[in-house]
Amino acid sequence: MHSLAERIQKQDMRALARAITLIENDDEEKLALMSDIFSIQKQAHYVGITGSPGAGKSSLINQLLTYLRKQDLTVAVIAVDPTSPFSGGALLGDRTRMNQHFMDPGIFIRSMATRGSLGGLARATKDSIRVCDAYGFDVVLVETVGVGQSELDIMKVVDTTGLVMTPNSGDVLQIFKAGIMEIADLFIINKADLPGVRKLISTLKEYMMIVQPEGWEPPIVQTVSTKAEGMPDLWKRIKDHQSYLYQTDKGAERRKQQLQLEVYDLIREEIWREVKTEMEKDHKKMEIFQNPDADPYQLARSWFQEWARKDE
């Protein structure tokens, strides 16, 4: 077994942080490490929190952390942030709203850059969740960068997705258009002390009447993160959804789909790495990029075909 996997199994926090760094850097040891990590994962509940910028996701998670620790639960937070175009690092890595939890040994917080990946979720996010699971955390919370078509990818890496919305924010139409509503396992109305709550609830209920969800109907939870209100109800609804997943065929079907998508993603990643490495060895190929009129479609097709035939 990989030495980091052994240390993580013994709940070595430094090994946990080191493993995630190794994953983010796409180290050559990553696949071997993750295979060992997979064998010791402990079935933590993976919870995704998404929503428009300004909806109060970080503040909400901060209060949820406080509540979960009072329930004697350990929690890891993976905060997926926008990527700096210069350093490749997470732009919002300070997570100042969660500073009060940094010294708590029962909480681990890690900001990760999207690195421009489709879905706003780096491939490393799923691996990092698994590492936190293997460490033994009871809950792994994943906060995403915001709302958009790309955020649909959160459904590939978590068990339960909470969509955070606020009254009178004007983002409901955009959320409808983006398709985010379809992946929400629960709707969280944060800042529920503001006017417009009833109208938002009515809109959500009308939406559910239109789509008529089968099996699980996403509940609507009201919270006020600045006052720590609504956390018990929020956690109860999350636990209800967890029970639903493990007691119904829908849950088994979701896990099967996630496994299939993950295998495809890993294959795609390996092919991309090999093709890129092979092409960059050829200086003549790299010189083609100096020509702004080069046909990218023809280049991609011919280079891939050339790589595919290299072992023949």
Residue 16 main-chain phi, psi, to 5 deg = -60, -50
Q: Which domain holds residue 292?
A: 262-308
Same domain, 80 and 193: yes
Same domain, 218 and 145: yes
- Compute the mean pLDDT over every residue in the chain, rounded to the nearest whole number: 83
Q: Where are the alpha helices (DSSP H) in 102-229?
A: 123-135, 172-178, 197-211
Residue ending a domain, choose from 247, 273, 291 = 247
Same domain, 83 and 133: yes
Cα-based torsion angle of the residue sequence 188, 72, 131, 11 in order, rounded to the nearest 10 degrees: 160
- Quick one: pLDDT band at residue 234, thresholds 50, 70, 90? very high
- pLDDT digits 0-9 by tens, 259-307: 888 888 888 878 888 888 888 888 888 888 888 888 988 888 888 888 8
Query: Which whole-number Å values give the CA distances from 47 to 99, 243, 266, in the listed order?
Result: 20, 13, 22
Is the residue at 211 inside a domain? yes
Is the residue at 62 inside a domain? yes
Greater model confidence, 304 or 238 = 238
The arithmetic mean of pLDDT across residues 128-143, rounded, is: 94
Contacts of 227 (CB under 8 A, 6+ apart): 193
Is the residue at 254 inside a domain? no
For 263-291, letters b (16+ CB in 10 Å) and e give eebeeeeeeeeebeeebeeeeeeeeeeee
CATH code, domain with 232: 3.40.50.300
Same domain, 118 and 158: yes
Is the residue at 49 inside a domain? yes
Is the residue at 132 inside a domain? yes
Same domain, 27 and 117: no
What pLDDT, on the 0 to 100 scale, is given for residue 90?
42
- pLDDT digits 0-9 by tens, 87-133: 444 444 445 556 667 788 899 999 886 554 444 355 778 889 999 99
How many structural domains does the chain have? 3
Of the ranges 74-88, 223-237, 245-259, which is most confident?
223-237
Same domain, 232 and 280: no
Tokens of residue 270, six digits: 């390996």
Same domain, 74 and 217: yes
* Most distant pair of Cα atoms in the chain: their distance: 68
Same domain, 200 and 87: yes
What pLDDT, on the 0 to 100 scale, is given for residue 151?
60
Same domain, 91 and 229: yes
Is the residue at 198 inside a domain? yes
Same domain, 50 and 176: yes
- Quick one: pLDDT band at residue 42, thresholds 50, 70, 90? confident
Lowest-confidence region among 42-51, 120-129, 251-260 = 120-129
Residue 77, beta-bridge partner list: 109, 141
Residue ending a domain, choose from 202, 221, 247 = 247
Same domain, 167 and 239: yes
Is the residue at 30 inside a domain? yes
Is the residue at 252 inside a domain? no
- pLDDT digits 0-9 by tens, 164-208: 988 876 666 556 655 667 788 999 999 999 998 998 898 888 888
Same domain, 194 and 72: yes
